[in-house]
A = this chain, B = another copy of it.
Amino acid sequence: MSSIVLDKLRELGALVDEYMEEVLLRDTSGDFREAVLYQVKVGGKRIRPALTILSCEAAGGRIEDAVPVAAAIELVHNYSLILDDIIDRGELRRGKPTLRKVYSDVMAILVATHYRESIVQAINDTKCPVELHSLLATTLKRLIEGERLDILFEQAGRHEEYLIKHRYYNITLNDYFKMIRYKTAELMRASCLSGAIVADADNSIRKSLSEYGLNIGMAFQIVDDLLDIFGEERVFGKKVGKDIIEHKLGNIVVLLSLEELDEVEKRRLLGILRKDEVHDRDVREAITIIKTTTSKERAYRMAKEFIESAIHSLRRLEMTEAREMLEEIGYFIVKRRW
């Protein structure tokens, strides 16, 4: 099953890649081109533009009307990754050196801001630019808020007074859901909704696809958190326990574990997250503690419930190949190993 999904992502991804490069290179000096293209050439699953195109098709629209906005959405994702790597001092992504590592932090800032302008240009190429500009502005403001919360949920590693003063030492599940909704799910929601918008779909279809996107986004982030702790490095392409190394309390597996642990173990786990430098043996210890709880099973159950809600949201849509593929993507998200 999953190879059908991967094939489809590859097929639809190829449709936007050429357009993405073209819009990234508009009004761009020759010397800047290599740095500008680096991030999109590193690859990626292209799941978001596939969601846009499939949502457009499922709502009765034409693929070609979805390409510019699908590309814009994938550029938003890459824009956020470049900034994320600057903020987290990331050195590796998808097994390759990050943009900032190759070109410096200052060039990465310039490339990121350049991406944002290419997004504006891509949206201006669509049939309904004003509505889509507005959707992306709101979505990006939420993404920024999600990133802000994610940073303030970190338990150590940043030394500026403002960040220490505003750090969250206790995070409720509601705080967590708000953070991942903003950080991850709102962009998946916008991916689907923008497909419905360019298909000129009526409000009930827009709402269905919007809810579908939001719910798969929530599941996607929960599975990401699970893979961070339990994933296989070779398959996942990221260092296992990266969230623990980065002192992040905003991981569902950690939060659910803390609910179950006794005071002593709880203090040990939080102690690791709050160490100035987290070593590999600390990560191993944290994972050992986490494995004494049922957090893995509970988190997977949550992810599956979000997927069920997502698929349920599609019920008002006609049964088409595109709708079926959206359902497959839902199932795929909770099964993915990358």
Contacts and interface: CB of A to CB of B under 8 A. Distances in A.
Contact of A31 (B107, B116, B117, B166): B166
Q: Which of A83, A114, A137 is the most central at the interface, judged by chain B CB atoms within 10 Å of its CB?
A: A137
B133 A124 contact: yes
Nearest to A28: B141
B142 A110 contact: no
Interface stretch (A143-151, A243-251, A258-266): A143-151
B120 A137 contact: yes
A292 interface: no
A261 B116 CA distance: 43
A144 B83 contact: no
A87 interface: yes
Interface string A132-143: 011011101110
Interface stretch (A8-16, A156-164, A233-241): A156-164
Contacts of A109: 83, 86-87, 109
Interface stretch (A98-106, A209-217, A280-288, A298-306): A98-106
- How many protomers of this protein does the assembly include? 2
A32 B148 contact: yes
Grouping DSSP codes into helix (H, G, I), strand (E, B) and loop, the A interface class, with mixed when no group exceeds half, is helix
A41 B136 CA distance: 26
B117 A137 contact: yes
A105 B145 CA distance: 16
B144 A114 contact: yes
Nearest to A116: B116
A7 interface: no
A101 to B, nearest CB: 9
Q: Which of A31, A86, A116 is the most central at the interface, judged by chain B CB atoms within 10 Å of its CB?
A: A116
A29 B178 CA distance: 12
A90 interface: no
B113 A87 contact: no
Contacts of A138: 27, 117
Contact of A113 (B105, B123, B144): B144
A130 interface: yes
Nearest to A129: B130
Contacts of A83: 109, 113
A118 B27 CA distance: 23
A121 interface: yes
B162 A107 contact: yes
Given A106-B158, A109-B109, A124-B137, 4 more contacts: A26-B141, A27-B138, A110-B144, A120-B136
9 contacts: A32-B145, A83-B113, A86-B109, A102-B162, A104-B158, A106-B160, A116-B140, A120-B120, A120-B136
